[in-house]
């Protein structure tokens, strides 16, 4: 064994120990902490060791900034959508013809859509309808008894009556305001919604009382004046139009009218309407406005002599006290049998209905 080498190792180790002693002397220890903290730090160290994820040598830690930057780079690198450009003539033709331009491939320079491209698209044939494919070019279905009865009665009305229609318009502002103001309280007290129909029924009753001929009918060579007011309400169903009767409406409250209209509508849609429900009417109200109708000429419901047509409510400019204002306006149409009702009576009746709706407080006073 080489003694010199051994002595060299001892001297080297001695130098290292002296250096460590000097560093220890210069070191100032931290303030002492409670033992509980030391226990916690030991436990956290153990947990960190236990839950430390396995890392491969080539794996790098995830940095959020890098991810955001890479996403931005991907967004920038995505190709831009092709913007379709049109020639002036093609743009004008497309606007007039209301052609869908999303799938057009332009044949002009740099893909510009030309007038010829629009014309070729307009000339393309659409596919045949599904119903034609399923049932053929024509279908023959036997008419139901209800549809036959409706067709027969409407044809009789046109052939036998001297039917004429007069028109007017009504500002619905006051009715809408009154309805919006009391609809929640009305529903809470009576269990039914306050609709427009009750206002129209009440207004028509006032008009019928002032002009009895509108509530009358012809039987042979006699005119029968009715002193009761049974209003027929037209209801559209899947099977066809039915007109159940609301009886003695002059003795009904607003709540009674709304409840009975709701009940008759449910019976009609469920197919539970009886013959008695359809007979005995003296005047008819039909509301095409629920389907979007702006104006129409309703057909008489024989043997009655008049029918009122309601329509949709549209915001229109009107002159009020010399100023133009936007108001909710409904057009009204009264078709009547000119054999029994003169033009003066028909126009005056419709005017009373209009005034009663524009001043709905009159409906409660029955004037």
Angstrom distance (rounded) from CA 87 to CA 155: 55
Distance of CA 346 to the CA centre of its chain: 36
Q: Is 221 noted as a catalytic residue in this protein?
A: no
Q: How far apart are the first and last CA of the chain?
A: 137
Q: Is 321 noted as a catalytic residue in this protein?
A: no
Query: Which of these, 212, 196, 217, 214, lies nearest to 310 by C-alpha position?
Result: 196
Contacts of 117 (CB under 8 A, 6+ apart): 90, 104, 105, 106, 107, 108
- Which entry of 117, 238, 256, 338 is annotated as an active-site residue? 338
Q: How far is CA 334 from CA 205, 247, 354, in A?
A: 14, 21, 12
- Which entry of 117, 180, 256, 342 is annotated as an active-site residue? 342
Contact yes or no for 226/282 (Cβ under 8 A): yes
Catalytic residue ranges: 338, 342
């Amino acid at each position: 064994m080489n003694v010199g080498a051994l002595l060299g190792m001892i001297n080297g180790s001695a130098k290292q120990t002296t250096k460590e002693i000097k560093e220890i002397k210069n070191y100032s220890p931290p303030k002492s902490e409670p033992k509980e903290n030391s226990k916690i730090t030991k436990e956290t160290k153990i947990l960190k060791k236990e839950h430390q994820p396995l890392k491969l040598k080539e794996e790098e830690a995830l940095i959020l900034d890098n991810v955001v930057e890479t996403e931005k780079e991907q967004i920038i690198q995505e190709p831009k959508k092709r913007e379709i450009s049109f020639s002036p003539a093609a743009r004008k033709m497309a606007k007039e013809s209301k052609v869908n331009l999303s799938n057009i491939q332009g044949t002009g320079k740099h893909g510009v859509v030309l007038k010829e491209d629009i014309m070729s698209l307009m000339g393309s044939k659409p596919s045949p309808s599904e119903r034609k494919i399923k049932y053929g070019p024509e279908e023959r279905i036997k008419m139901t008894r209800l549809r036959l009865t409706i067709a027969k009665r409407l044809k009789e009305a046109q052939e036998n009556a001297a039917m004429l229609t007069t028109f007017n318009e009504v500002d619905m502002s006051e009715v809408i305001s009154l309805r919006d103001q009391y609809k929640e309280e009305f529903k809470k007290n009576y269990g039914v919604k306050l609709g427009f129909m009750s206002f129209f029924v009440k207004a028509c009753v006032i008009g019928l009382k002032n002009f009895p001929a509108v509530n009358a009918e012809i039987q042979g060579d006699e005119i029968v004046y009715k002193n009761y007011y049974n209003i027929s309400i037209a209801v559209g169903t899947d099977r066809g139009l039915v007109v159940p009767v609301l009886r003695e409406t002059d003795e009904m409250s607003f709540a009674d009218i709304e409840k009975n209209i709701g009940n008759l509508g449910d019976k009609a849609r469920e197919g539970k309407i009886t013959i008695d429900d359809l007979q005995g009417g003296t005047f008819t109200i039909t509301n095409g406005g629920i389907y979007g109708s702006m104006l129409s000429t309703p057909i008489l419901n024989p043997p009655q002599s008049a029918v009122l047509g309601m329509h949709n409510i549209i915001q229109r400019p009107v002159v009020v006290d010399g100023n133009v204002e936007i108001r909710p306006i409904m057009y009204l149409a009264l078709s009547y049998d000119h054999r029994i009702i003169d033009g003066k009576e028909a126009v005056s009746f419709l005017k009373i209905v209009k005034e009663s709706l524009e001043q709905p407080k009159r409906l409660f006073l029955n004037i």
